[in-house]
Chains A and B, each alone.
Chain A
Amino acid sequence: MKSCRIGVYICMCGTNIAKIVDVEAVRDFVSGLPNVILTRTYKYMCSNPGQEMIVQDIKENNLDRIVVAACSPRMHERTFRNALKTAGLNQYLFEMANIREQCSWVHDDPEMATEKAKALTKAAIKRVALHESLENMSVDMDPRTLVIGGGIAGLTAALELADAGHQVVLVEKKEQLGGNIARVDLTAPYLNSARDLLTERITRVKTNKNIEIFLESKVTDIKGYLGNFTATVQFPNKKMKDGKDNAIRQVGNVIVCTGYKEFDASRITHYGYGKLPNVITSFEFEKMIRNGRIETKEGRVPQFAAIIHCVGSRSKEFHAYCSRVCCMTALKYTHEIKSANPQCYVSDLYIDMHAFGKGHEDFYTHTSEVKTLFLMYEKNDRPVIRRAGPKDDCEMLIEVNEKLSGELIEIPADLVILMVGMEAREDSPEIARLVNISQDKDGWFMESHPKLDPVATTTDGIYIAGTCAAPKDIPDTVAQARAASARILAKISKGKIDVDAVYSEVNENLCCGCRICNNLCPYSAIEYDPIKFQSHVISALCKACGVCVASCPSAAIKGRHFMDNQLIAEVEGVL
């Protein structure tokens, strides 16, 4: 074994560790181990004096390896690595032993816990002796960005980046920009015109020299890694000047804003959508308003209108989630119907009224003021719509088990509007594969962290914004688009990207080109070179999960910082 000078620090974490683990016993145990020059216990290693103590000891005692037995490395590994850097030591010559989460917090027998702490600390000491100095890499950042989807999110993100002076490639599948909002008349709760919101964005996007727009186009391939992606855009209906039907663009980052699709109302048989002519979806109603006349299929002004919430949302059979925008949109319809015909009897059948946003509760109150009949139905007891008889003064009758009164009632309706929920697009698996991101059980794209990192994904350089990540309203969508742009702008302004020194490497002399690792890599970080018949790890994409290392039949792949001898030494230490 290589000779080195190891400093070991055992943290008490106040009493968090010390009340169960006998830290002095751990110290006595490890101070006798080979290569250990110095051992200390301290109340809070992560505190400034604790860190300074490490820096001081490294300088005074010429230490070249450090072990801290404290909390989880997820908590403070970065803190102590920085301390090593300050002392002029390579940050990878460090190891943490977790004697809090894995000892004192989970065990109540002090003796056994102390034994376990000893073993863990010994393992860390054995491992750190074999650590090597590693240097972080840095790669260039291409300032251009690819935005997939030309809805409100895509338009906003593109403008944000282009206004900062960077090139944007905007790809839209349809023949026009605008997305789903282009199908909407007014927006809740302030009744602003959706068209006004959009026209301003679209005009600015179209006139911005930094934005290259591809309409009726699809991104069919994305290669590369953070800062250096190569995207292929295909446009089957058009040809470029040189006769090609595709374009290749170099970009540094990608924002996915592919939006949602509405739920297919005919899936719920209770409502007779498709069979009863005057049962329409919210988007059909939007179209009706945009045409300027609320009427039945027969051209009559409805005397009774009914709005049914949660069509496809909040049910186990279809989608368990809430689509978030339908409640306020339904209230908006009430206003629109009432302002066109104040005599119209509007009933609003809901499960729960979700009025969570700014101005929403006021909007709800105001809708009550215009005399809307709110009826609550049970989630699993849907209303049933049927055609009215010849004696009735209405087109249809809705039977509903009204929850607030407990009565089974029948309400008249000439026009029924189904508030269809949001659904992940059918092509979202394709997109997810294209940019190498995950989808949740409902098909929405997954964020890196649902609370702390909502627009980033698990693939560096790929961001998500708007309703492709989950149902949300316009303000939230715009906020996400801007957040994603801000994240990218921050990266662009740095110019270079630091890549963690911990990644896998293929020993080209040993690789036989079997390509097993190619398909196993969850981050698509392994490239295959068809000329050399060899695989190659793109270090910027590698997250050091180790799957390729384990799978390689010729042991040609090494995980840096997770070398075989390091791991074996650690296991020996524990035993």
Chain B
Amino acid sequence: MAIRVNPKLIEDLSRFGAEDVHMCYHCGDCSAVCIHSDEMFRFPRKSTRLLQMGLERKLETSLEPWLCYYCGQCSEQCPREAAPGETMMSIRRWLIARYDLTGIAGLFFRSKVAEILAIIIVALLTGIFFLYYGFTFGNIKIYDGPNAFLESSFIHKFDLILGSVLGIFLLINALRMWYLIMVKGNIIPTPWWLYIKQIYLLPWHFFSQKRYAKCESTNSNNVHMPWLVHLGLMIGYVLMLILVMVFLPALQQGPEIQWSVHIFGYLASIGLIGGSVYFIYSRRKKQQIQYQKSHSTDWVFIILLGIIIITGVTQHILHRSGLFEAANIVYVVHLMSVVPWLFRMPFSKWAHLIYRPLAMYFAAIWAEAFELQNYPQNVIPITQT
């Protein structure tokens, strides 16, 4: 049976940033230059073609977009300036919207107004809630201890609840990704034990991002070391998340500083500051091809992160300087930016934190399943639709 094309797909994807897809005339140079493109997963040309033709189902069940790290090599040598790297990036954004059942991600990617409005509303609600709570149950002049304006055990509880909600969202999205790729898009039987055999790949790729490092070896501009910078940002990020989620009461135990705990906080802050300064600088300078085009969601992410870092650091300094009243106010502002930012997580590019390791995991399972079936890797059987 012939697959019906979706003529609107390419138009829709342009709102996710894929503006030059139609320029591609399929010379295949991009796939040839890509270090990650192999016998089994060929891209970016294949993904570009699916998008051009509007084969929505094929595209939403494809794994290839997640195997690309956007080093920019393909776009650099594209003879028709079709920006294959940016196309892959846009497909990833679109996939994030696809994996998300609520439709929020799609709304944010398609409309920056909706995203900014949502952030402002969540920020205001957060602000009102914490001010109300603080003034009712706490004292604005006290930062630490049981009578604090925002008591640490309360914030901790709040964090855990928010974290769990986000975790559930992420889990549902991850399940949806699994369903699309491994069930709907699957073409060969995949034994269950392969899932167990390859499970080590999840933490391995999550923490090492080793595949990203491969891009650096081919990048003409490798002084920028995108892998290291990305890894620094990611570790700072995860560390900070763990600190806040697990060790918040310890961090806010009292006025006397606990270096054993705070040293991690400082390290995480350095990672976050370094990473975000690098990204803002690159996106402004536009020297590297992967930073030449920024989607509105990219800027929202960086700006919110910037506010979080600034307010977080300011609050810490004020706290340590004994200006508790000011520290409490900045703390509320900090929370006003942290909550929308966290709330945005499962619906934004940020979610690739989960999707990428999952994609590597699925890719490895597939590759092995193929081997078991004795298919030559370059012959992918025709899908039954």
Scan residues 36-66 of chain B and give those whose CB is less than 8 A from a CB of chain A: 46, 49-50, 52-53, 55, 58
Name the CB-closest residue of A to B45.
Answer: A404
15 contacts across the A-B interface (CB closer than 8 A): A368-B24, A368-B25, A369-B23, A372-B22, A374-B52, A376-B26, A402-B53, A405-B49, A405-B55, A407-B3, A407-B55, A408-B2, A408-B3, A409-B53, A410-B2
Q: B224 an interface residue at 8 Å Cβ cutoff?
A: no
B46–A405 CB distance below 8 A: yes
Once bound together, how far apart are the Cα atoms of A68 and B201, in whole Å? Answer: 85
Are A373 and B53 CB-contacts (below 8 A) given A368-B25, A410-B5? Answer: yes
Nearest residue, chain A, Cβ from B50: A405
User: For A80, what are the chain B residues with a Cβ–Cβ distance below 8 Å?
Assistant: none
0 or 1 for each of B1-42: is its CB under 8 Å from A? (1 = yes): 111110100100000000000111110000000000000000
Does B80 reach chain A (CB closer than 8 Å)?
A: yes
**Distance between B260 CB and nearest chain A CB, rounded to angstroms:** 58
Cα–Cα distance between A407 and B4 once the two chains are bound (Å) = 11
Smallest CB separation, B26 vs chain A (Å): 5
Selected contact of A404 from candidates B22, B23, B26, CB within 8 Å: B26
Contacts of A402 in B (CB 8 A): 53
Min distance, Cβ B339 to any Cβ of chain A, angstroms: 41
The interface residues of chain A lying within 8 Å CB-to-CB of B23 are 365, 368-369
Contact assessment for A368 and B50 in the assembled complex, using a CB-CB cutoff below 8 Å: no
Which A residues touch B58, using CB under 8 A? 407
Alpha-carbon gap, A129 to B55, bound state (A): 83
B-contact bits for A327-363, CB 8 A (1 contact / 0 none) = 0000000000000000001000000010000000000
7 A-B pairs closest in CB distance? A410-B2, A345-B7, A405-B49, A371-B22, A408-B2, A399-B2, A410-B4
Contact residues in B for A374 (Cβ distance below 8 Å): 25, 52
Contact (A412, B49) CB under 8 Å given A369-B22, A372-B22: no
Are A368's CB and B22's CB within 8 A?
A: yes
CA distance A405 to B52 in the complex (A): 10
> B3 near A410 (CB under 8 angstroms)?
yes
A523 within 8 A of B: no
**In chain A between 397 and 434, which residues have their CB closer than 8 angstroms to a CB of chain B?**
397, 399, 402, 404-405, 407-412
Instruction: Knowing A304-B7, A368-B23, A405-B46 are in contact, say whether A375-B53 is a contact too (CB < 8 A).
Output: yes
CA distance A528 to B357 in the complex (A): 94
Interface of B is mostly: mixed
Are A371 and B55 interface neighbours, CB within 8 A? Answer: no
Taking Cβ atoms with an 8 Å cutoff, the residues of B that contact A are: 1-5, 7, 10, 22-26, 46, 49-50, 52-53, 55, 58, 80
A293: shortest Cβ distance to chain B, in Å?
A: 23
Q: How far is the CA of A345 from the CA of B10 in the complex (A)?
A: 11
Q: Mark A254-288, 1 if CB is under 8 A from B, else 0.
A: 00000000000000000000000000000000000
Cβ of B3: which chain A residues have Cβ within 8 Å of it?
407-410
B22 touches A409 (CB 8 A): no
- Report Cα–Cα, A408/B385, bound state, in Å: 11
Q: A365-B80, A375-B53, A405-B49 are in contact. List 4 more A-B contacts (CB 8 A).
A: A369-B22, A373-B22, A405-B53, A411-B5
Bound-state Cα–Cα, A405 to B47, Å: 9
* Max chain A Cβ within 10 angstroms of own Cβ: one of B3, B52, B53, B58: B53
Contacts of B49 in A (CB 8 A): 404-405
- Tell me, rounded to whole Å, the shortest Cβ–Cβ distance linking A331 to chain B: 13
Tell me, in angstroms, the Cα distance from A304 to B80 when the chains sit together: 26
Of B5, B10, B24, the contact of A409 (CB 8 Å cutoff): B5
| Chain A residues within an 8 Å CB radius of B4 | 397, 409-410
A304 to B26, CA, bound (A): 23
Name the distance in Å between B73's Cβ and chain A's nearest Cβ.
Answer: 21
Provide the bound-state CA to CA distance between A369 and B19, in Å.
Answer: 10
Query: What residue in chain B is nearest A375 (Cβ atoms)?
Result: B53
* CB neighbours of A405 from chain B (8 A): 46, 49-50, 53, 55
Which residues of B sit under 8 angstroms from A365, Cβ to Cβ? 23, 80
Distance in angstroms between the alpha carbons of A374 and B55 in the assembled complex: 14
Within 8 A of B (CB), among A359-390: 364-365, 368-369, 371-376
Rounded to whole Å, the gap between the CB of A351 and the closest CB of chain B is 14
A405–B5 Cα distance when bound, in Å, is: 13
Bound CA–CA A252/B55 (angstroms): 64
Rounded to whole angstroms, the CA-CA distance of A167 and B14 in the bound complex is 63
Q: In the complex, which residues of chain A have a beta carbon less than 8 angstroms from the beta carbon of B25?
A: 353, 364, 368, 374
Q: Which residue of A lies closest to B22 (CB)?
A: A371
Most buried by A among B1, B3, B7, B80: B7
Q: Return chain B residues, CB-CB under 8 Å to A399.
A: 2
* Bound-complex Cα distance A304 to B4 (A): 14
Choose among A372, A373, A399, A405 the residue with the greatest number of B CB atoms under 10 Å from its CB: A405
**CA–CA, A410 and B22, complex, Å:** 19
Minimum distance in angstroms from A270 CB to a CB of chain B: 14
Which residue in B26, B46, B52 is a CB contact (below 8 Å) of A373?
B52
The answer for the CA separation of A404 and B3 in the assembled complex, in Å, is 15
Question: Which residues of chain A come closer than 8 Å to B1, judged between CB atoms?
Answer: 408
Residue numbers in B under 8 Å from A304 (CB-CB): 7
Question: In the docked arrangement, what's the CA distance between A258 and B46, Å?
Answer: 47
Residues of A close to B2: CB separation below 8 A: 399, 408-410
Instruction: Contact check, B55 vs A409: say whether CB atoms are below 8 A apart.
Output: yes
B50 contact set on A, CB distance < 8 A: 405
With A and B bound together, what is the CA distance between A371 and B1 in angstroms? Answer: 27
Minimum CB–CB distance for B328 against chain A, Å = 55
Chain A residues with CB below 8 A from B46, complex form: 405
Distance to closest chain B CB from A354 (angstroms):
13
* Closest beta carbon of chain A to B153's beta carbon, Å: 57
Task: Identify the closest chain A residue to B49 (Cβ).
Answer: A405
- The smallest beta-carbon distance between A413 and chain B, in angstroms, is 10
Q: How far is the CA of A409 from the CA of B24 in the complex (A)?
A: 19
CB distance from B64 to the nearest CB of A (A): 13
Chain B residues near A412 (CB, 8 Å)? 5, 7
Query: Quick one: closest A residue to B383, CB to CB?
Result: A407
Contacts of A408 in B (CB 8 A): 1-3
A299 CB → nearest B CB, Å: 22
Q: How far is the CA of A356 from the CA of B303 in the complex (A)?
A: 50
**Once the chains are docked, how many angstroms separate the CA of A5 from the CA of B174?**
104
Q: Cα distance A386–B149 when bound, in Å?
A: 73
Please name all residues of chain B whose beta carbon is closer than 8 Å to the beta carbon of A368 when the two chains form the complex.
22-25, 80
Chain A residues in 8 Å Cβ range of B55:
405, 407, 409
**CB-nearest residue of chain B relative to A368?**
B23
Please pick, from B5, B10, B26, B80, the residue contacting A371 in the complex, using a CB distance under 8 A. B10
Most buried by B among A304, A369, A372: A369
Q: Which chain B residues lie closer than 8 Å to A376 at the CB level? A: 26
Q: How far is the CA of A364 from the CA of B79 in the complex (A)?
A: 13
User: Nearest B residue to A374 by beta-carbon distance?
Assistant: B25
Q: Chain B residues with Cβ under 8 A from A371's Cβ?
A: 10, 22
B8 nearest CB across to chain A (Å): 9
B333 to chain A, nearest CB (A): 45
Distance of A122 from chain B, by nearest CB (Å): 63
Q: Report the minimal beta-carbon distance from B233 to chain A, rounded to whole angstroms.
A: 36
Greatest chain B CB density within 10 A among A368, A372, A375, A399 is at A368
| Bound CA–CA A499/B166 (angstroms) | 98
Residues of A within 8 A of B53 (CB): 373, 375, 402, 405, 407, 409
Contacts of A410 in B (CB 8 A): 2-5
Chain A residues closer than 8 Å to B5, beta-carbon distance? 409-412
